[in-house]
Amino acid sequence: MDKKRLAAEHAADRIQDGMIVGLGTGSTAYWAIQKLGQRVREGLRIRGVPTSEHSKQLAVELGIPLVNLADVEQVDVTIDGADEIDPDFHLIKGGGGALFREKMVAQHSKTVIIIADDSKLVERLGAFPLPVEVVPFGWEITAKRIERLGCTAALRRAANGDVFATDNGNRILDCRFGRIEAPASLHQTLKMLTGVVETGLFPHEADHVVIGTADGVVQKDRHAHPRAES
């Protein structure tokens, strides 16, 4: 079985009746939503909180009942993917462009399960360009300010060449910082810049990391790190 699918289905099998479930975005989260849809058809009773319009559409097609984030006290479990994961549970997310909603849902969740294949495990973050969501107004100025922090920032475009727009109507700058030694500090510095909506750095957001490998599933659990607040 595909390693992403292996990790996703393992996580989806942990969901229990009555849970409110955060539905992640991306190629690995896709398999988790598919599995949850199957389990719903088999009788599982859950409500989903999608992190993107794409995940919302998929959930509707699969018959997963949905609820708005504002209408729940807390999400029980969020299952989502990541673009990079370091040994301290720092993440880079946002390759699919849903980083703002993903972080909103994650920070409203009791438990966050990150699913990925073993290629996403790194010693230090930074090989994957860091997505930074910015408002359209004056994005060029925002990009220059970000580049002063030591990166090159490229405006993300869709496959057809048009400027990529997030579900919130914003832009994404893919920022190449190279090796990121202090993810939480860089995240806070970027957030202080006017024009920046959110960053793809998720410091200590994950409670569990489920990794699909050629030999099966490996689960890593966070014990010592407190959940970060942005």
Question: Is the separation of the CB atoms in 155 and 171 below 8 Å?
Answer: yes
Name residue 132's beta-bridge partners: 173, 199
- 134: region left, alpha or beta (phi > 0 left; psi from -120 to 50 alpha): beta
Task: Select which of 102, 133, 198, 205 is catalytic.
Answer: 102
Q: Is 133 a catalytic residue?
A: no
Give the C-alpha distances (Å, rounded to integers) separating 55 from 37, 46, 92, 137, 178.
12, 16, 19, 27, 30
Per DSSP, the three-state class of 208 is strand
Residue 225: name the closest of 102, 131, 96, 85 by CA.
85
**Length of the chain as a residue count:** 230
CA 117 to chain centroid: 14
- Positions annotated as catalytic residues are 102
